[in-house]
């Protein structure tokens, strides 16, 4: 079946064909580890995981590379302001290296909790200094750089199509410059290498042909993706905010150095918003996965919430929405575990599912289809096996969810038995009265195809992985 994906370069959905048969190289911009990830950041990684799982569902072997920005990355997209890592260090009193270690570990824990597949490669910027320096040297040889008092810059005026993906109007940008751009020749030029300030010693700095300092942010992704995937690979991903600056700059560098646009497909996840604005670390509500855990919300409920919105539409966060997702997920788990094992997945259902995900990852439609299957009169064992196959993409980890073992108090068990008896003799009103008595004791009775089931009125389930 053909796979169609939206390409931000061409701004349209088009057919995906891999460069090498059966294999896909995919690079995803990872976190800057000076703080915890918020659930907005995590939405982007969930989108990338869904993309990878969809590619695998289509039979591709995916070489998935994610970077960890553990150096530099100034507080603004411009080239000034304080370095985020050093700022984190000052705030906490820990060394910049310890900060990077600590927040990388926290990020990996979030990754696992959301059931995101492990990338083939995690690459840390600090481990690729020779590659980054080599890349800048090559740009220098080709005449794309210039030097200012604070660093080596990329000269964007050398490229007619700089910023094509973002359809940037450079003249308008330049005319509208209202901020001081220092010695930069143009507002769109960006740092490749920044010099350490003379008066202070940075915690993270390296020697280079241009002097002691540290690499700019954009160069790390160009250098590390080339190191692992070559100078032209299949898919490059990130959040929508990367289109205008970070990815435009990665493309500019790679075009200058290797003559390619780096990736055949550029794909971007849209923002999670709060109060109509991008969720960010600096402003608004900063929600971490831990914030959800503190409220007894399973991280996979958040994953489920993300499935309900297309990755190319912004998603407004609300607690009500998240609670709705938690209920949906719980119903799904209950149904799945009620059905017997040992069935065969149904091909007709899977075909329909396949065509939804292959249509630019239409997960909301795929989710709706899955519910259609749950409610259908398909044989329960077949439903379970089909759902399991769909879950390879949805990643809700249905199989590993363990219903909590619950103690049913004797009084509740007796009422339930009595209710069964009155139902058998079709005394419905009496049966309803008993159901209310059971509820008053904190339990719900659900009449399922396999007979009545009791569960605590408050969700009592645990999830183990």
Residue ranges binding ligand AMP (CB under 6 A): 29, 31-32, 40-41, 43-44, 238-239, 241-242, 269, 271-272, 278-280
Q: Does 394 bind Zn ion (CB under 5 A)?
A: no
Spatial distance between the Cα atoms of 314 and 31, rounded to a whole number of angstroms: 20
Give me the least distance between CB of 379 and Zn ion, in Å please.
Answer: 47
Q: Does 221 bind Zn ion (CB under 5 A)?
A: yes
Tokens at residue 463, please?
Answer: 């999830």
Residue 5 or 306: the one with the smaller Cβ distance to ligand AMP is 306
Residues 6+ apart with CB under 8 A from 317: 39, 40, 272, 273, 274, 279, 287
Spatial distance between the Cα atoms of 76 and 82, rounded to a whole number of angstroms: 8
Partner that binds at residue 221, options Zn ion, ligand AMP, none, CB closer than 5 to 8 Å by kind: Zn ion
Residue 73 or 419: the one with the smaller Cβ distance to Zn ion is 73
Q: Does 363 bind Zn ion (CB under 5 A)?
A: no
Q: Which residue has its beta carbon closest to ligand AMP? A: 239
Q: Does 125 bind Zn ion (CB under 5 A)?
A: no
Residue 136 or 279: the one with the smaller Cβ distance to ligand AMP is 279
H/E stretch holding 456 reads strand 451-456
Spatial distance between the Cα atoms of 136 and 154, rounded to a whole number of angstroms: 9
Residue 29 or 168: the one with the smaller Cβ distance to Zn ion is 29
Tokens at residue 28, please?
Answer: 């995803």
Give me the least distance between CB of 392 and ligand AMP, in Å please.
Answer: 24
Which of 96, 66, 68 has its CA nearest to residue 82? 96
Which of 259, 258, 265 has its CA nearest to residue 234? 265
Residue 39 or 257: the one with the smaller Cβ distance to ligand AMP is 39
Give me the least distance between CB of 87 and ligand AMP, in Å please.
Answer: 13
Residue 243 or 415: the one with the smaller Cβ distance to Zn ion is 243
Let me know: does 99 contact 89? Beta carbons within 8 Å.
yes
Partner that binds at residue 278, options ligand AMP, Zn ion, none, CB closer than 5 to 8 Å by kind: ligand AMP
Which backbone phi and psi does 444 adopt, to 5 degrees? -110, 140
Residues 6+ apart with CB under 8 A from 331: none
Spatial distance between the Cα atoms of 353 and 383, rounded to a whole number of angstroms: 13
Which backbone phi and psi does 123 adopt, to 5 degrees? -120, 130
Residue 32 or 382: the one with the smaller Cβ distance to ligand AMP is 32
Partner that binds at residue 41, options Zn ion, ligand AMP, none, CB closer than 5 to 8 Å by kind: ligand AMP
Spatial distance between the Cα atoms of 93 and 38, rounded to a whole number of angstroms: 22
Partner that binds at residue 279, options Zn ion, ligand AMP, none, CB closer than 5 to 8 Å by kind: ligand AMP
Spatial distance between the Cα atoms of 38 and 29, rounded to a whole number of angstroms: 15
Q: Which stretch binds Zn ion (CB under 5 A): 26-34, 131-139, 226-234, 360-368?
A: 26-34
Report strand pairing: 23-28 vs 61-68: parallel
Q: Does 29 bind Zn ion (CB under 5 A)?
A: yes
Give me the least distance between CB of 401 and ligand AMP, in Å please.
Answer: 26
Give me the least distance between CB of 140 and ligand AMP, in Å please.
Answer: 27
Partner that binds at residue 388, options Zn ion, ligand AMP, none, CB closer than 5 to 8 Å by kind: none
Binding characters for Zn ion, 302-321, by CB under 5 A (x = yes): --------------------
């Amino acid at each position: 079946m053909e796979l169609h994906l939206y390409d931000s370069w061409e701004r349209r959905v088009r057919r995906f064909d891999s460069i090498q048969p059966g294999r896909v190289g995919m690079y995803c911009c990872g976190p800057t580890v000076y703080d915890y990830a918020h659930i907005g950041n995590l939405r982007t990684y969930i989108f990338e995981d869904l993309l990878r799982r969809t590619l695998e569902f289509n039979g591709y072997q995916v070489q998935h590379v994610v970077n960890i920005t553990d150096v530099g990355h100034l507080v603004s997209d411009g080239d000034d302001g304080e370095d985020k890592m050093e700022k984190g260090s000052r705030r906490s009193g820990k060394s910049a290296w310890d900060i990077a270690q600590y927040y990388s570990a926290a990020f990996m824990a979030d990754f696992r909790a959301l059931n995101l597949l492990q990338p083939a490669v995690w690459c840390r910027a600090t481990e690729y200094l020779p590659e980054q320096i080599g890349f800048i040297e090559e740009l220098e040889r080709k005449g794309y750089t210039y030097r200012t008092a604070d660093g080596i810059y990329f000269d964007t005026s050398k490229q007619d199509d700089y910023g094509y993906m973002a359809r940037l109007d450079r003249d308008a940008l330049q005319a509208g410059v209202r901020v001081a751009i220092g010695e930069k020749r143009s507002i769109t030029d960006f740092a490749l290498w920044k010099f350490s300030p003379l008066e202070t010693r940075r915690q993270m700095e390296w020697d280079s042909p241009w002097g002691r300092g540290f690499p700019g942010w954009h160069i790390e992704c160009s250098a590390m993706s080339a190191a692992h995937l070559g100078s032209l690979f299949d898919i490059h991903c990130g959040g929508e905010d990367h289109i205008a600056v970070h990815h435009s700059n990665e493309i500019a560098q790679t075009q200058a150095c290797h003559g390619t646009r780096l990736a055949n497909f550029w794909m971007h996840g849209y923002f999670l918003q709060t109060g109509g604005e991008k969720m960010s670390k600096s402003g608004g509500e900063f929600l971490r996965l831990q914030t959800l855990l503190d409220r007894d919300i399973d991280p996979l409920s958040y994953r489920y919430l993300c499935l309900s919105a297309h990755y190319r539409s912004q998603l407004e966060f609300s607690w009500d929405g998240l609670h709705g997702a938690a209920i949906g997920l719980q119903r799904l788990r209950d149904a799945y575990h009620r059905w017997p094992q040992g069935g065969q997945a149904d091909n007709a259902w899977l075909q329909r599912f396949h065509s939804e995900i292959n249509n630019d990852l239409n997960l909301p439609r795929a989710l709706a289809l899955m519910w259609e299957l749950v409610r259908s009169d398909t044989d329960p064992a077949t439903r379970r096996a089909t759902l399991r196959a769909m879950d390879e993409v949805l990643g809700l980890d249905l199989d590993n969810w363990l219903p909590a073992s619950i103690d049913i108090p004797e009084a509740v068990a007796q009422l339930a038995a009595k209710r069964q008896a009155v139902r058998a003799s079709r005394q419905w009103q009496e049966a309803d009265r008993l159901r209310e008595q059971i509820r008053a004791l904190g339990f719900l009775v659900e009449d399922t195809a396999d007979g009545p089931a009791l569960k605590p009125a408050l969700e009592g389930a645990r999830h183990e992985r």
